[in-house]
A and B are shown apart, each in its own frame.
Chain A
Amino acid sequence: MINALFNQPNYLATKKMLDATVLRQEAITSNIANLETPNYKRLDVAPSFSSDLRQAIASKNPTQIENLRPHLIVDSAAFSPKRDGNTVQLEDEMLHLNQNFVEHSLETQLVSASLSRLRMAITGRSG
């Protein structure tokens, strides 16, 4: 099957990281949109995702990596200095936003590089 071309653990792991980055972007967007909504609690990607991913990569089992599903949870560690029960801090969210952007940039480049190596292996030419 052609699938065999695309199931190297590294490539799959990068794809999962990209999924998580996009999901985190959703969470940050939601947090900033609800900056002043009373009783809103900030969201983030479940912290268990990174350890699950590390474990799946160590197992070198493509299906295990493929089956990972990053999901969002309410960040229970977030501290609320405001009186209205809202746990979003604008500065933190802006930092996360920029960090996430850089991560996204890294991951898209990794995926592209992986595809271009594959192309080079097929055609024998680079670029």
Chain B
Amino acid sequence: MITLLTGISSSAAALTAERIRMEVISQNIANANTTRGLDGKPYQRQHVVFETALRQQQGGAGSFGSPQAVQVSRIESDNRPPRLIPDPSNPGAMQAVPDVNIHEEMADYITASRSFEANLAVVKNARAMAMQTLTIGK
């Protein structure tokens, strides 16, 4: 297949990976006050782990120094212990709530969305370059 848009598969993979990351962050924020999960315990914060995925390069220069895509290798559970806060409905008792820090999640979310935008800019650039290539000889 002719790859008119240079490196589009890397960008597409990165957009997917960043979107998954944003979904995981949304899930953390949504469950910031979930005290009973499916396992009956307070919700545990999740985070994604990125890894490179080797992409076939035309003319194969080998694995060293060839362009790479990115993928989410796994979604890990953070093992921070839940925070204990006083239970308002039961004076003297403590209640375990997830240790999700909204500020941290928001900062992470902004980083993810900026990375997403950077990849979109690359796609736009690749498209403009392809249009230029098509004008050769005109």
B132 pairs with A74, CB closer than 8 A: no
Known: A33-B11, A94-B121, A108-B133. A25 touches B126 (CB 8 A): yes
Q: Does B10 interact with chain A (Cβ within 8 Å)? A: yes
Q: Does B67 interact with chain A (Cβ within 8 Å)? A: yes
Contact residues of A between 97 and 121, Cβ < 8 Å to B: 97-98, 101, 104-105, 108, 111-112, 115-116
Which applies to chain A's interface (DSSP): helix, strand, loop or mixed?
helix
- Those 6 A-B pairs whose CB atoms lie nearest each other, nearest first: A29-B7, A33-B14, A30-B67, A33-B10, A25-B6, A73-B65
Interface size on A, residues (CB 8 A): 34
Q: Does A72 interact with chain B (Cβ within 8 Å)? A: yes
B6 pairs with A34, CB closer than 8 A: no
B65 pairs with A30, CB closer than 8 A: no
A-B contact pairs, 13 of them (CB 8 A): A25-B7, A29-B126, A32-B119, A33-B11, A33-B14, A33-B69, A34-B14, A37-B70, A43-B66, A43-B67, A74-B64, A74-B65, A101-B128
Q: Which of B6, B13, B132 contacts A105 (CB 8 A)?
A: B132
Taking CB as reference atom, which chain B residue is nearest A36?
A: B50
Min CB distance, A47 to chain B, in Å? 13
Contact residues of A between 3 and 56, Cβ < 8 Å to B: 22, 25-30, 32-38, 40, 43
Q: Does B33 interact with chain A (Cβ within 8 Å)? A: no
A26 pairs with B70, CB closer than 8 A: no
* Contacts between the two chains (Cβ within 8 Å), count: 105
Q: Does A90 interact with chain B (Cβ within 8 Å)? A: yes
Known: A30-B10, A30-B69. A35 touches B115 (CB 8 A): yes
On A, residues with C-beta under 8 Å from B are: 22, 25-30, 32-38, 40, 43, 69, 71-74, 90, 93-94, 97-98, 101, 104-105, 108, 111-112, 115-116
Taking CB as reference atom, which chain A residue is nearest B71?
A: A37
Inside 8 A of A43's CB, which chain B residues have their CB? Answer: 65-67
Q: Which of B65, B118, B133 contacts A72 (CB 8 A)?
A: B65
